[in-house]
Structure 1
Amino acid sequence: MRTINIRRMMILSAVLLMGPLLNTGCTRINDKPAAEVLHLVLAGMAGSDGVSFEGASSLLLDGNPAPEAALYYGGTVSDHNKVSLHTLLPDGGTPQTVAQAGENKLKSSSAAPPAYYTQLEKKNGRWTLLQEDSTASPDNPLPALNPLRQLEDLEKLEIEVSEEAGAARGTRVLRIELSEPEAGRQLAAELEGQMEAIRPDKSGSEGKEAGKGAEALQLLWEQKNNELQQKLKEVSVRTVYYLKVDTKRNLPKRLTCTRRVNDSGNQGTAAGGAEEIYLTEVNFYGYR
């Protein structure tokens, strides 16, 4: 009997000793530094087969909403590297492609405005359009809202990661702020990409009159591009992301971004426009 009691005491002691060690290990997993959590979440997203998402973007000019800039969108990620995006109606109505809207316009004068639709695929490390149609025009805002590219960029940018207090159980909220130079570079790259997309194609001109028209367009483009470059030198940019993380699966639940652009050359003018605030938000659901 004594041998049995000693054995039980040894087992009990081992359990009591192992308990704190096991609990400490779990605590370390849950209390990883914010920067490490971000890395794990981005890796988890890259390993996910697919996910659905819905989001919105808006613009404030000196604190006043710009309704024409408001956009609602949704989409899916599939096969790790394919993204489909489409615009949504503000009331959550069924989205329409441009072709569908054109058909409906023949049937009703009060048809909903056309919506954009875009398919992207990552090839050789770059996101490219899968199709070339009317919805792939330079003014299509959807490619810039690709949530996978936004998340991937966070690993490449010069950032400072911290954690917000008071997150709901099972979640963590990471605050990710770009350095001021990085925020400026990011904005410049986006605007320069948009300018490049609308650059006139001189190779397509035919005939003397067409050549003159192409030359005039090129001169206008160069003028506007020079104005853009000058404006970029005058503005200060601050960009902050907030990433809500599902700690059970190490996957994103929500990504928001606030970009503040202040024009030092236009401060205090009657025309206003001294500050632009660009807001985006995307919610992820239905991971596969």
Structure 2
Amino acid sequence: MRGCMFLIICVLSGCALDRQYTPEQIFRRAVAGMAGRERITFIGQTRIRTDGLPTTKQFEYRGKLKNHDELIMHWGSAEALRKQGDYVALKEDKFEPGVTHERFLRQNGKWIALTSGDTSMVQNGMLNRFNPIQELEELNTLNKSIRMEKGAARGTWMVRIEPEPASAKRWLKERLMEEMNTLNPQIRILKTQHTKTNQELQQKLSQVWKQSCEDMNNQLEHSNVRTVYHLTIDRQTGLPLKLSSECRISRQVANEKLHQEALITRVAFEDYK
């Protein structure tokens, strides 16, 4: 029914978004249009830059949405994903060493990770934050400023979205805590073996987890967070083509020095059905 409703909207609008719509309306229509699709594939890249230094870490990820609410994501180095091949490998559950995979199911508007038996406890839950479909859905609910950017390619619009700093920090904290909370239950698996060594290790891991949560919260409390998104939208279909973002965190450290980190992502969407 959701797909039919979007089709009706397209027919009534001539399947071409008119300039009479505001940037926010164009953005909301793009998110709604994506939500009505049964199948989407995407390819993304993310990298971390610290204090203006060259990129320190770089990863790639792929995803395939099917049946409207089922998503499979792969994550790894560019080399590992090249070895794995294209989406045929994803569809047939063929996984190369060094490639993390995770399945998600959309329930009541939330994406729930379905734990896989061969997913390591360190990696499980990590991919949720890099699900661009979820990212756009959540971004749609935040307080933010939206404007059109000049210089978009022919046949497209480029929308600039910037969440308010307080909303950006709160959103980042929520996403990071979700990841931390996936780690805590998993380290308790050691309790299934009631040896003294495992019990001691369990206690140490729990202490490390608790201290890490406190450290992360403290750092975020004293940090400034600024996130800017650029969404490229097809004028004819109103659907997202590309999404790029930069999340910059800055805080004062020892000797009043300013420490800055930036998470940069680039995603391309295709194969809408």
Shorter-normalised TM range: 0.7 to 0.9
Pairwise CA distance, 1:197? 1.8
Aligned partner of 1:85 in structure 2 is 73
Aligned partner of 1:204 in structure 2 is 191
- Distance in 1 (CA, whole Å) between partners of 2:142 and 2:266 is 19
73 and 52 in structure 1: CA distance in 2 versus 1, 3 angstrom threshold: same
Q: Do the aligned partners of 1:44 and 1:251 also contact (CA within 8 Å) in 2? A: yes
Residues 182-222 of structure 1 show CA distances to partners (whole Å, capped at 9, x for unaligned) of 11111111221222222243893635554443333322322
**Which residue, 39, 43, 59 being the options, matches 1:54?**
43
170 and 161 in structure 1: CA distance in 2 versus 1, 3 angstrom threshold: same
Aligned partner of 1:35 in structure 2 is 24
Q: Tell me which amino acid in the other structure corresponds to 2:205.
A: L
Matched residue of 1:244: which SS? strand
**Which residue, 185, 188, 196 being the options, matches 2:173?**
188
Aligned partner of 1:107 in structure 2 is none
Q: Do the aligned partners of 2:39 and 2:65 also contact (CA within 8 Å) in 1? A: yes
Q: Do the aligned partners of 2:17 and 2:235 also contact (CA within 8 Å) in 1? A: no
Q: Tell me which amino acid in the other structure corresponds to 2:24.
A: A
Q: Tell me which amino acid in the other structure corresponds to 1:252.
A: P
Percent of pairs identical after alignment? 27
- Distance in 2 (CA, whole Å) between partners of 1:135 and 1:152 is 26
**Which residue, 122, 126, 141 being the options, matches 2:110?**
126
248 and 197 in structure 1: CA distance in 2 versus 1, 3 angstrom threshold: same
**Which residue, 102, 125, 149 being the options, matches 1:164?**
149
Residues 71-111 of structure 1 show CA distances to partners (whole Å, capped at 9, x for unaligned) of 1122211122111111365366242789854xxxxxxxxxx
Pairwise CA distance, 1:178? 0.7
Aligned partner of 1:262 in structure 2 is 250
- Distance in 2 (CA, whole Å) between partners of 1:250 and 1:46 is 12
Q: Tell me which amino acid in the other structure corresponds to 2:136.
A: L
167 and 277 in structure 1: CA distance in 2 versus 1, 3 angstrom threshold: same
Q: What residue ranges of structure 2 are gaps of 5+ in the alignment?
A: 1-13
Aligned partner of 2:53 in structure 1 is 64
Q: Do the aligned partners of 1:241 and 1:258 also contact (CA within 8 Å) in 2? A: yes
Pairwise CA distance, 1:127? 1.1
Aligned partner of 1:246 in structure 2 is 234
Q: Tell me which amino acid in the other structure corresponds to 1:204.
A: K
**Which residue, 98, 103, 108 being the options, matches 1:114?**
98
- Distance in 2 (CA, whole Å) between partners of 1:147 and 1:27 is 24
The TM-score with structure 2 as length reference comes to 0.81
Matched residue of 1:198: which SS? helix
Aligned partner of 1:220 in structure 2 is 208
Q: Do the aligned partners of 2:33 and 2:239 also contact (CA within 8 Å) in 1? A: yes
- Distance in 2 (CA, whole Å) between partners of 1:203 and 1:131 is 17
Matched residue of 2:142: which SS? coil
Q: Do the aligned partners of 2:102 and 2:116 also contact (CA within 8 Å) in 1? A: no
Aligned partner of 1:6 in structure 2 is none
How large is the RMSD of aligned CA atoms in angstroms?
2.8
Q: Which one is further off, 73-82 or 31-40? A: 73-82
89 and 224 in structure 1: CA distance in 2 versus 1, 3 angstrom threshold: closer
Q: Do the aligned partners of 1:177 and 1:239 also contact (CA within 8 Å) in 2? A: yes
Q: Do the aligned partners of 1:266 and 1:274 also contact (CA within 8 Å) in 2? A: no
Q: Which one is further off, 30-39 or 249-258? A: 30-39
Aligned partner of 1:135 in structure 2 is 119
- Distance in 2 (CA, whole Å) between partners of 1:87 and 1:203 is 26
User: Which structure has the greater CA radius of gyration?
Assistant: 1
85 and 208 in structure 1: CA distance in 2 versus 1, 3 angstrom threshold: closer
